[in-house]
Chain A
Amino acid sequence: MTVDPALISRLEEKAVDIRKKIIDLTVIAGSGHLGGALSMVEILVALYYHTLKVDPSQPKWPERDRFILSKGHGALALYPILADRGFYPEELMSNFNGLDSPFGMHPDMNKIPGVEMSTGSLGHGLSVAVGCALTARLDCASWRTFCLLGDGELNEGTVWEAAMSASKYKLGNLVALVDRNGFSLDGPTEEIMPLEPLKEKWIAFGWDTVEIDGNNMAEVLNALESLPEASGERPQCIIARTVKGKGVSFMENQSEWHYGCVDEQKAEEVKAELELARKGRGC
């Protein structure tokens, strides 16, 4: 499948914008899950600016695709995207992490339009996504459910309980995306709790599985465009190999940037580096 080069280019631009917004939000918040938010930007941008059928003017539109952010600590990347798509004004995030703010480290479905499920405790989202996909099947509806998981999150046994059930119920309308950035909080996943061979695990659980470069917009879009019809009988898994802290040289692949602080001065340097990357692409 060939993805329109203009689309790729437009969404690559968007990914730079979103990374800069993540940095701005971190300044407001004082700190945040930078590493895991930066690694998943291409995945979320491809979903929210191309793949997902959603209507920001009606967040509860019944025919929308459902997106469950199982790695709830990735909220830092989701919030600016939902604002940019028009689910709420950006100013609403000005008190991010503050007292009574709708926006905390982990997303709350009852406080933020466009958030389908309150997440943050790991290993819960895929079960919820299975419930969504089963609902669509029961209602003979054509919408899909997408669920983004962290790779460290796959240590949780419930993920595999959910994976088994998706396979049992032939949920071809369910897509799991794994942000395979290679790190959990304490260090590299293969040291802390090895996951490999990861693709084989998902295949063994009955999922059609592909591995892609998850920071390459063309590959992400291609994987999403290549999904079979939702009426199919096999759940779909996309393992997106990414770089933790992607785009910020001193954060990339550094465990200490799983969660970190950025002050206003540092933020300007980081955003300048992100802009350079944009120019570096020759746009």
Chain B
Amino acid sequence: MQAFTFNVLDVDRFATREMYGKVLVEIGRENPDIVVLSADMMRSNKTGDFAKAIPERFFNFGIAEQNMFGVAAGFAINGKIPYASTFAAFASMRCAEQLRTDIAYPNLKVRIVASHSGLSMGNGGTTHHATEDIAITRSMANMTVIVPADANECAKAVYASVDYPGPIYMRIGRGAEPIVYKQDYDFAIGKAVTVREGNDVTVIACGIMVMAAIKAARKLAEEGIETRVIDMHTIKPLDEEAVLKAARETGILITAEEHSIIGGLGGAVAEVLAEAGLPVKFSRIGLPDVYSTIGPPDDLYARYGLDAEGIYKKVKEMLGKK
């Protein structure tokens, strides 16, 4: 991997937020400008690791997320690099104005690392699900939006974020997410990773849907269908070249994300395809335009087709239309 030392190449699952906590400590030790901010969530989002290792640069603002992001802006205008974390639902909605007006508009180097994204809060219910955050944050000018596929990619993204200009919204989950990357690979913000080659159909996924897409692709391969799987870890700026190349070479594109079908990865890819005017069949997998129900995360993923089975079915459906 890169200069950081902690990675989990030898396990099948690892919590992305655990990784976030560990990498924060590493980058914090290397760079004295890094400060870490939490809003009574240091146990949940693992910023507590940093609190223990470098207490003088850790700040806990209690259950007051808006103030936390405002303070982050205050650190950033003075040359600090704040990593500010809370649940994705609160970061993107309660604090939308702080993100847009205090951080994105002045183009400040604040890293908003939002955990417990998508439906990962499961039986926490709709108040704690975050299914609009990609749409909200990617509509903010200057904002970079990253959704790592697994803990190892989270590590690479956090590491890459230290020297990256402007604000970043990074979306990570809650559970022990499956590991996609079991060997080193090149990561760059804004550059998609093709994790599986194929020329019959393309699935462009982000976050936990990358592993689901790989599993679906394996099953499809048994039927002779070769699926290209693209890990679109950066939603903004979108790797348009990877999208258009896949459109030209495979003719069928499906996006998959743990987010509303409106305005997220699917929306971003649709914008590129529509303007390119390519003859391509296209469909979006995501939470339909409803409020998610209550239940364990895996049951919710199955309910809304946000898993390997859902992707498999969608690919078959789209191939039927070919």
Residues of chain A at the chain B interface (Cβ within 8 Å):
66, 68, 108-110, 116-118, 120-121, 124, 126-136, 138, 158, 161-162, 164-165, 169
Q: A110-B107, A135-B80 are in contact. Are A128 and B74 (CB under 8 A)?
A: yes
Residues A131 and B72 in contact in the complex (CB < 8 Å), given A110-B106, A110-B107, A124-B98: yes
Taking a contact as CB atoms closer than 8 A, the residue among B62, B67, B77 that contacts A158 in the complex is B67
Q: Is the CB of B71 within 8 A of A165?
A: yes
- Residues A118 and B70 in contact in the complex (CB < 8 Å), given A135-B78, A164-B62: no
Are A161 and B80 within 8 A (Cβ)?
no
Subset of 10 A-B contacts with CB under 8 Å: A121-B97, A124-B70, A127-B66, A131-B71, A132-B74, A135-B74, A138-B80, A162-B67, A162-B70, A162-B71
Q: Which residues of chain A are within 8 angstroms of B64 by Cβ–Cβ distance?
A: 158, 161, 164-165
Closest to A128 in B: B74
A-B contact count (CB 8 A): 97
Binds A, one of B4-12, B53-61, B268-276, B307-315: B53-61
Known contacts A138-B57, A169-B59; is A127 also within 8 Å of B67 by CB?
yes
Find the residue from B67, B72, B98 having the highest chain A CB count within 10 A.
B67
Q: Which A residues lie within 8 Å of B200 (CB)? A: none
**Which of B69, B71, B79, B102 lies in contact with A134, CB distance below 8 A?**
B71
The reply to whether A134 and B75 form a contact with Cβ atoms under 8 Å apart is yes
The verdict on A128 contacting B102 (CB below 8 Å), with A164-B62, A164-B64, A165-B67 known, is yes
**Residue contact B78 to A131, C-beta cutoff 8 Å:** yes
The chain A residue sitting closest to B39, CB to CB, is A161
B35 lies within 8 A of chain A by Cβ: yes
Contact of B77 among A117, A121, A124, A164 (CB under 8 A): A117
Measured between beta carbons, the chain A residues less than 8 angstroms from B107 are 110
The residue on B at minimum CB distance from A162 is B67
Residue of A nearest to B106 (CB): A118
Name the CB-closest residue of A to B78: A135
Min Cβ gap A154→B in Å is 14
Interface string of B89-121 (1 = CB under 8 A from A): 000000001100110011100000000000000
A129 to B77, CA, bound (A): 10
Chain A residues near B75 (CB-CB < 8 A):
131, 134-135
B71 with A158: CB separation less than 8 A: no
Residue in A120, A132, A165 whose Cβ sees the most chain B Cβ within 10 Å: A165
Interface residues, chain B, with chain A CB atoms under 8 Å away: 35, 56-57, 59, 61-62, 64, 66-80, 82, 97-98, 101-102, 105-107
On chain B, the residues within 8 Å of A133 by CB distance are 74
- Looking at the assembled complex, report how far the CB atom of B112 sits from the nearest CB atom of chain A, in whole angstroms: 14
**Which residues of chain A are near B57, meaning CB under 8 Å?**
138
Tell which of B64, B72, B101 has the most Cβ of chain A within 10 Å.
B64
The residue from A108, A127, A138, A165 contacting B73, defined by CB atoms under 8 A apart? A127
Q: How far is the CB of B140 from chain A (nearest CB, A)?
A: 14
Which chain A residue lies CB-closest to B64?
A161
Say how far B88's CB is from chain A's closest CB, in angstroms: 20
* Contact flag A128-B66 (CB < 8 Å), given A118-B106, A161-B61: no
Closest 6 CB pairs of A and B: A131-B74, A127-B70, A161-B67, A161-B64, A128-B74, A135-B78
Assuming the contacts A121-B101, A158-B70, A162-B70, asked whether A128 and B61 have C-beta atoms less than 8 A apart, the reply is: no
Q: Which residue of A lies closest to B97 (CB)?
A: A121
Q: Which residue of A lies closest to B65 (CB)?
A: A161
A130–B71 CB distance below 8 A: yes
Q: How far is the CA of A169 from the CA of B74 in the complex (A)?
A: 15
Query: What is the CA–CA distance of A169 and B68 in the complex, to the nearest angstrom?
Result: 13
State the CA gap A138–B61 with chains docked (Å): 16
Q: Are A132 and B77 neighbours in the complex by a CB distance under 8 Å?
A: yes
Specify which of A124, A130, A131, A164 is in contact with B101 (CB 8 Å cutoff): A124
Residue of A108, A110, A130, A136 with highest tally of chain B CB at under 10 A: A130
Indicate whether A109 sits within 8 Å of B56 (C-beta atoms), given known contacts A128-B70, A162-B67. no
Given contact pairs A118-B106, A130-B74, A162-B67, enumerate 11 new A-B contacts (beta carbons under 8 Å).
A68-B74, A109-B77, A121-B97, A124-B98, A127-B71, A127-B98, A138-B35, A138-B57, A158-B66, A165-B62, A165-B64
For residue A141, which residue of chain B has the nearest CB? Answer: B78
- CA separation between A127 and B82, bound complex, in Å? 14
A165 to chain B: which residues have CB within 8 Å? Answer: 61-62, 64, 67, 71
Determine the distance from Cα of A121 to Cα of B95 in the docked complex, in whole angstroms: 13
Q: Inside 8 A of A164's CB, which chain B residues have their CB?
A: 62, 64, 67
